[in-house]
Structure 1
Amino acid sequence: MPYSGSEHALSKATTSAAINAGAHVFREAREAKGYSIEDLAVTCGLTVDEIKDVELGLDASPSYLRRVAAALGLPENAACNA
């Protein structure tokens, strides 16, 4: 079966939608723990801007997601299960 660019675009859009839908999990968990964005950044070793990007679903780097999840005591796949 030939590969079509539209299949890639659909896959990318579906993945992006799932990430954006799950990103709120991190913000809610952070707020429930009483952490500011700055507190979480220090705890997991990321910058404030990197935390903001994760919470907005703009950065789905697996290493960032694992670090944030670990700092919040969440399973690694927390953003994907929302």
Structure 2
Amino acid sequence: MVYLTEMHKITILQMIGYGDRTRTQAEVLRLFQEKYPELPPKSQGTKLVVMLMLEENPHMSSRQTASALNISHSSILRVLTEN
């Protein structure tokens, strides 16, 4: 498994944005893969974005995380089970 450096994590958070200027998960993954084409494919990227979101917001529920990333609740639970 490829681990993200602090700079990668910061880049993802900057790409996500904040407030009313946030991007969807798909937009963040596309931008991140354009910037770092040598890193994991999209499916691994999705897992990394979910894990990063939960690492940065440990008290956020799985439903809130799903809503914030615009992915299904079952996808969040799957990532949590695998990791």
TM-score, normalised by the number of residues in structure 1: 0.32
Larger Rg: 1
TM-score, normalised by the number of residues in structure 2: 0.32
Instruction: Considering fraction of residues, name the structure with more helix.
Output: 1
